[in-house]
Amino acid sequence: MIVCVSLDCFINENWHTIIYYDSVHGELHRHEKFSLDGKTETITTFGIEQKGSQEMLMRWAIRDISDKHTSYKRRFLKNIGCNKVEVLYNLY
């Protein structure tokens, strides 16, 4: 079972998980947050690899976040109303 593969960002002096993958319910799925308080999120299996060993699926989740981290961060920052450029430069 994949416990958690996540993308966390430091915003307003706090760490926030903005996206994570787990397989707690038997299949790999993604949780995507849309607010700083974490109360608004979507959970989906759409577009997510489902075939292969747990090790292969974990590598897939890591690669997905590595490949798409910029777009995930931009979407999150847009949803919370942050100045994308200023925050993105502060994150690196």
**CA dist 60 → 6, 53, 69 (Å):** 12, 11, 14
Estimate to the nearest angstrom the gap between the alpha carbon of 24 and the chain centroid: 16
* pTM (global) more than 0.85: no
Q: Give pLDDT tens digits for 49-77.
A: 988 888 999 999 999 999 999 999 989 98
For residue 15, the surrounding DSSP H or E stretch is strand 14-22
